[in-house]
Amino acid sequence: MTEPFDAVDVIAAKRDRHRLSPEQIDWVVDAYTRGVVAPEQMSALAMAILLNGMDRSEISRWTAAMIASGERMDFSSLSRPTSDKHSTGGVGDKITLPLAPLVAACGIAVPQLSGRGLGHTGGTLDKLEAIPGWRADLSNAEILAQLEDVGAVICAAGSGLAPADKKLYALRDVTGTVEAIPLIASSIMSKKIAEGTGSLVLDVKAGSGAFMKELAQATELAETMVALGKDAGVHTVALLTDMSTPLGLTAGNAVEVAESVEVLAGGGPQDVVDLTVALAREMVAAAGRSDVDPAEALADGRAMDVWRRMIAAQGGDPDAALPAPKETHVIMAPSDGVLGRLDALAVGVAAWRLGAGRSRPGEQVQAAAGVVLHAKPGDTVRAGQPLIELHTDTPERFARAEAALEGAFDIGADAPDLPASVVLGRVD
């Protein structure tokens, strides 16, 4: 077959800061997926996009082309509206675990297709696989049946959703083009739109432990993704949230599951509770159920009931003991004072080095590995008291985890100036 365009011409157009036509975008995404456009050509185009950007219509068309590369799920047969949430990733970000059953307890179906961790950001599926028997891989028929029966599902996305994105993401990861906002936004939104949810709430994080370090960057990404949702007819809202300090008191796998269950039981760290409820309220409102208050469903145990049914439906035992680490090591506070700073990135890297994360796709993770915090910024500490507890099955990892935490916290005489809320802003 004769191709309608030449890859070199498309690359040159974006290199010279021209808009790509809808036809050029449709072709280059499809041709790359088919193998007609070579990886080195697509990497050159990705770099040109990183340097010269795309306007809203280009990003929207690029996203549509990636959606068209695969299948689309359809939840229209369900007896309740659907809403989903996506987080741009952080440290201690276990919010999906209590959030999905909480929103389902409010009468909304939550098709949460999630991923695995890479580097310092944890993966939702890795965390849930710490529960004995739980499985991440479900067929489309199983997803639909569980959404109708239980109201919530957290599982792996099928390979049929936006295969162009999977291929392009792997290329961006090794060519220094991950940071291109048009490509980040289209990557996230192509999968979420193809998933078929009726509404979407985005948790876009800013701070040291986030992909976007600065609030201005996070805001630009949030605005781009909300616009893409609108263009695709999916009601989309974004919350901008703080990721300068880890969420909650845990970062890892089993330790984050345990903390999530505490939240569902009516306890847990306040920042995790606050963000879970804030996102749940956005999801419930986006699905047209503003008359329901998620805080009540959390307090009266309905969310916990859905959690137990959701875990059991995917083969897990909600009553089983979670894996415990073979080895622990405690870092003590070196002096009296107030904890002023606890760097999220350093904690995430420590958890990763302990075995909670992976450095390459497909690598095994340790269910029991992670970090437990005994204090958060603003807390008064005493010299010699436990500050950070390290968990692993392989104690030779402790040295590198400790190295990651050098300089990660400050203890001083004065209380730090902390954000009033974990939610920094909203984009709709």
Give catalytic residues, as residue numbers: 86, 165, 172, 187, 191
Element (H, E) at 150: none
Q: Which residue has the tokens 């749940």?
A: 280
Tell me the HSE value of 220 on the side-chain side, using a 13 A CA sphere.
16
* Amino acid at the residue 277: V
What are the beta bridge partners of residue 423?
A: 241
Asked if 164 contacts 66 with a C-beta cutoff of 8 angstroms, the reply is yes
Scanning 314-392, the segments in alpha helix (DSSP H) are: 344-351
8-state DSSP, 182: H
Tell me the HSE value of 368 on the side-chain side, using a 13 A CA sphere.
13
Tell me the HSE value of 349 on the side-chain side, using a 13 A CA sphere.
17
Sequence-separated contacts (24+) of 316-323 with Cβ below 8 Å: 316/128, 316/131, 316/132, 316/133, 316/134, 316/135, 317/131, 317/132, 317/133, 318/131, 320/131, 320/132, 320/133, 322/130, 322/131, 322/254, 322/257, 322/258, 322/367, 322/368, 323/130, 323/254, 323/367, 323/368
End-to-end CA distance of the chain: 44
